[in-house]
Amino acid sequence: MNGPMAFCPHCQKDVHFINAGRLRRCAVCGFEFEQSPPVSYEPDFVATAVMTVGHVLLRVFLILGVTLLIGVAVLFASCALH
């Protein structure tokens, strides 16, 4: 067998598994288990939109805060020069 090896929890070895529909069977001990369907990740669009709006608002407030800080620094610097 040239297929990929996998660990069998029953015989505690790396063995080849035989695929039979939704079942996989160990070629050494015959242990069978059913494969689960793949889990698809679907992002929550409401949460994504809220996070996007939140990030935009955070950036706007940070830019306003930095602008205010620079304005105060310029005011103090101009008062110190006079």
What pTM value is reported for the model? Answer: 0.44
Per-residue pLDDT at 3 = 61
Assess contact for 11 and 31: CB atoms under 8 A. yes
40 vs 34, which has greater pLDDT?
34
- Distance (Å) of CA 22 to CA 18, 61, 73: 11, 54, 69
Q: Is the pLDDT of residue 73 over 90?
A: yes
Tell me the residue type at 41: Y
Per-residue pLDDT at 24 = 87
2 vs 1, which has greater pLDDT?
2
pLDDT tens digits, one per residue of 51-72? 888 899 999 999 999 999 999 9
